[in-house]
Amino acid sequence: MEISVNEPFYNEKLKALSALYGVMDPELMVNIVDLGLVYGLRFEEEGALLVTMTLSTPHCPLGEAITTGVKNALSKVFPERTVGVEIVWEPAWDLEMLTAEGRWQLGR
């Protein structure tokens, strides 16, 4: 996920992304950002924060643990916001979405 300096809520998105580096996939033990699972962050004026993301598979047995981790991490940084997580399946996740750090952590 890339963030442009010209985007609204640029600083907030950087803080959110930093917090999401602390959310680990419990099976792979790699954070969800380096896995390429986070597709977008949307801050809304009325106090909502929506994370658009995917999971490695539609039947991920730890999906609920990951989404709870996202909500917990972001609620600590943005206690005044309501955090929501939208799981999407398009585009489908694949190994090409790993960052260089994620590849290194998985030995790829």
Q: What are the domain boundaries of the chain?
A: 10-100
User: What whole-number distance in Å separates Cα of residue 88 and Cα of residue 58?
Assistant: 9
Give the pLDDT confidence score for residue 60 in this predicted structure. Answer: 87
State CA 27 to chain mean position distance: 16
pLDDT > 90: percent of the chain: 81
Could you tell me which CATH class the domain 10-100 is placed in? alpha beta
Q: In the predicted model, what is the mean pLDDT of the chain?
A: 94
| Mean pLDDT along residues 21-28 | 94
Instruction: Enter the pTM of the model.
Output: 0.92
Sign of the C-alpha dihedral, residues 22, 70, 102, 100?
Answer: negative
Give the pLDDT confidence score for residue 46 in this predicted structure. Answer: 85
| Mean pLDDT along residues 6-17 | 93
